[in-house]
Amino acid sequence: MPPIREPTIFESPGTEPDVRIVVFDREFHVHSAILRHDSGFFRENLVSSNASGTTASHICYEYVSVVDDEGAWRLEQGKEMSTTEAKELKNGLSKPAEEAAFEKLLCAMYDTPYPVKSLQELSDISRLAHLYQTISIVSLSLNSAKYSSPRFPREINLNPLEALILARELRQPFLFREALVYAVSRWADCRFDRKVLDAHPDLKTIVESEYSKISMQIAIVLYITFASVSRKDRIFLFVTDELKSSVSLDPGLPPTRGAKYFRALYERLASWDQDSCSSVKEILQELLKINITLVDHNYTVAESDKFLCAQIEDGELPWDLAMDDRSSD
């Protein structure tokens, strides 16, 4: 067994850590009061009758990782060492990843910002958060997490439906909205695998609803502009000129279905002060909004042919905002 690294000690003003948790090759010293407050699991299992009463240090509670016969692991109280050597973790799990995810779970409890580098890492955190009944506190912590890795927004852009499912599991509004924008922007792409949401009909309904709203706005703009072409209005004559020069749009995408066309139309209309343009301008402003914070820098958002304007109100999120799993899962 590799030597345990120097313990990671979490601090709380005025108190000493009284819980030692060993997760594979990592050791954490934490406070029972914080565990009880933020975790339904520890509130039920960390009880004074199980305290070891160690006098050599402030540590009163011991937890270690234990791998079961199916390759899953859990924490057990009262053992002197981790019992993992004889059993292997099941496929898809690795000790370093599990150690890192558990540390970030503790960071969430201590209100300490932590980095999130990939959807897989977030999935690991989510799995442990469900197990230890800390979804509420983890969800809150993700509002201030460090999303500095360019890999993370790239993965959300390429796998928005998986990210949407994960954000719902975590009951995380910020990540749900980010994933929704990317999902809606790619919903019409024939290469996009919508079947990912077949097992999540409520999420599919949300994506389709937001996509329909955008499609309706597009239809209104097209109706107004094409209906006006016959009047020889110089503004709307621009429509046909722009269609002729739309060769830069994504292959296979009708010119009037991409954001580039509508961005060019808006830029032309913005320089003309005519009452006949006002309603179109207002709709275009909504269509061309960029409602993402985690930008995939592999492409320039301002030049993208995707509509990144999807949005959802708090009351439309697919979970109860008042739900708190710290008392029961």
Can you list the domains of the chain with their CATH numbers? Answer: 8-149 (3.30.710.10), 196-314 (no CATH)
pLDDT digits (tens, 9 = 90+) for 196-251: 999 999 999 999 999 999 999 998 888 887 776 555 565 556 665 655 554 444 44
Asked if residues 239 and 265 have their Cβ atoms less than 8 Å apart, the reply is yes
More confident of the two residues 251 and 260: 260
pLDDT for the residue numbered 122: 96
pLDDT score for 251: 45
Q: Do 125 and 105 meet the contact criterion of CB atoms below 8 Å apart?
A: yes
Q: Where are the alpha helices (DSSP H) in the chain?
A: 32-38, 40-45, 95-109, 119-131, 135-141, 151-158, 160-170, 173-185, 201-229, 234-244, 259-270, 278-287
Quote the pTM value. 0.86
Averaged pLDDT for residues 303-327: 86
Which has the closest alpha carbon to 97: 113, 68, 112, 117? 117
CB 281 within 8 A of CB 266: yes
Alpha-carbon Rg for the chain in angstroms: 26
Indicate the pLDDT class of residue 272, thresholds 50, 70 and 90: low
C-alpha to C-alpha distance for 154 and 160, rounded to whole angstroms: 10
Q: Please determine, for residue 92, whether its predicted confidence score (pLDDT) is greater than 90.
A: no
pLDDT at 162: 97
Q: Say yes or no to pLDDT of 88 above 70.
A: yes
Per-residue model confidence as pLDDT tens digits over 282-308: 899 999 999 999 988 776 666 678 899
Phi, psi of 164 (to 5 degrees): -65, -45
* Cβ proximity of 305 and 258 under 8 Å: yes
pLDDT at 224: 80
Read off the pLDDT of residues 33-81 as tens digits, 9 standing for 90 and up. Answer: 999 999 999 999 986 544 555 545 789 999 999 999 888 999 998 765 5
DSSP annotation string for 275-295: GGGHHHHHHHHHHT----SS-
Instruction: Please give the average per-residue pLDDT across 110-135, as a whole number.
Output: 96
Mean pLDDT of the chain: 84
